[in-house]
Amino acid sequence: MAGNSPRVGVLALQGDVREHLAVLSALGADARPVRRPEELAAVEGLVLPGGESSVIDKLARAFGMFDPIRDAIAAGMPMYGTCAGLILLADRVDGAIAGQRTFGGLDVRVQRNAFGPQTQSFETGLAVPALGDAPVHAVFIRAPAVVEWGRDAEPLASLPDGRVVAIEQGALLGTAFHPESTGETRFHERFLAHVRARRGAGAPAF
């Protein structure tokens, strides 16, 4: 792998880790699983995958990753959260289980399981103007939705009922769906663009 490839990680505690690693590697990134603080310190950006947000929260605390991830967000590390990862980036969560915490950073309120149980999973085409004219093929599986956001957060895509399902704030990106499972790469490309931009700005390595 070329030395100038973005060094990015996928939080590998639970969820669809391999799919994200495959997409990022195919895009030319030096992608690696991250389970420990020293592995987080070696990357320039982090993907928080889909899975079960409450389980990832508990495992992050058990592995000593919770505070390092929060600190990395506060220091400006680019992050991309899909489904459960979006919940983990949200400052506020509706429907959280008792004691559930998030890493935060996105000034949004997210509703867990906004579309019902897994039996009500669905697919749809989404208009995402920031990614070009071609619609995004989005798969929603026990997905969350953004129901409130602050002035610094920018919705990128929403459903006809107005619920926001893709949002960005600075170097933080979140989607309620799973582009890594449909061959859609543009969100990962956008995440990598944040990583490259931060490197180009001369930001210190983590």
CA atoms within 13 A on the CB side of 8: 33
142 annotated to bind ligand? yes
Length of the chain: 206
Here the tokens at position 134 are 């071609």
Q: Is 194 a catalytic residue?
A: no
Is 141 annotated in some ligand binding site? yes
Q: Is 83 a catalytic residue?
A: yes
Whether residue 112 is annotated as binding a ligand: the answer is yes
Chain position carrying tokens 């939705």: 145
Q: Does 70 appear as a known binding residue?
A: no
Alpha-carbon distance of 108 to 153, in angstroms, equals 7
Catalytic member of 178, 184, 188, 194: 178
Candidate list 19, 168, 180, 184, residue with the active-site label? 180
180 is known as an active-site residue:
yes
Tokens 């699983």 sit on residue? 33
Sorted by sequence, the CB contacts under 8 Å of residue 87 that are 6+ apart come out as: 53, 81, 93, 102, 110, 112, 144
Please indicate if the annotation marks 97 as binding a ligand. Answer: no
Shortest CA distance to 168 belongs to which of 128, 203, 119, 115?
128
| Residue 101, annotated as binding a ligand | no
- Determine the Cα–Cα distance for residues 65 and 103; give it in Å rounded to an integer: 10
Q: Going by DSSP bridges, is the β-strand pair 136-140/122-126 parallel, antiparallel, or unpaired?
A: antiparallel
- Alpha helix (H) ranges present in the chain? 17-26, 37-40, 53-62, 66-74, 84-89, 186-200
Catalytic residue among 19, 20, 83, 188: 83
Task: Give catalytic residue positions.
Answer: 83, 178, 180
> Binding site for L-glutamine: what residues are annotated?
51-53, 112, 141-142
